[in-house]
Amino acid sequence: MNGDRVRYITHQGQRILLADCSDCTAAQVATISDLVPSYVTAEPEHSVLLLADFSNAQIDREALEHLKIATVFDRPYLKRSAWVITPTFPKAFYENVKAFSVRKLPTFATREQAMDYLVRGEQEETQELASPA
């Protein structure tokens, strides 16, 4: 699997970890899911902006199990996460991962919308910190 499926990108000056599962087979989704924790756990806790793109990805029960494990490992390191999903991602699988990981998993139709959400949160938190009490 090409290593550039998991990489850091920049959007509006913010660093985002992209897990690009778009157009992947279920086996590729499982492999990518296994790679993500090594990137995330190398960062300070509560610092990672994570974008997982599942556009047109194939998901089976095996890939789902790998994804569930990755979401649990990632949780302490994430500041915010967003998923791009299309109708090929079964809703029951999404709900299963969400319940298993005990995480908010906001979903978006496009990568651009997801990136905007991730960095908007950064900007909102900065504004809150700058606001007088």
What is the spatial distance between Cα 66 and Cα 74, in angstroms, rounded to a whole number?
12
pLDDT, tens digit (0-9, with 9 covering 90-100), for 7-21: 999 999 999 999 999
pLDDT, tens digit (0-9, with 9 covering 90-100), for 107-123: 899 999 999 999 996 55
Which CATH code is given to the segment(s) 8-127? 3.30.750
The domain ranges of the chain are: 8-127
Handedness of CA 44, 45, 51, 54 (dihedral sign): positive
pTM above 0.95? no
Which range, of 51-55, 64-68, 123-127, averages the lowest pLDDT? 123-127
Vertex 46: Cα angle to 106 and 18 (nearest 5):
55
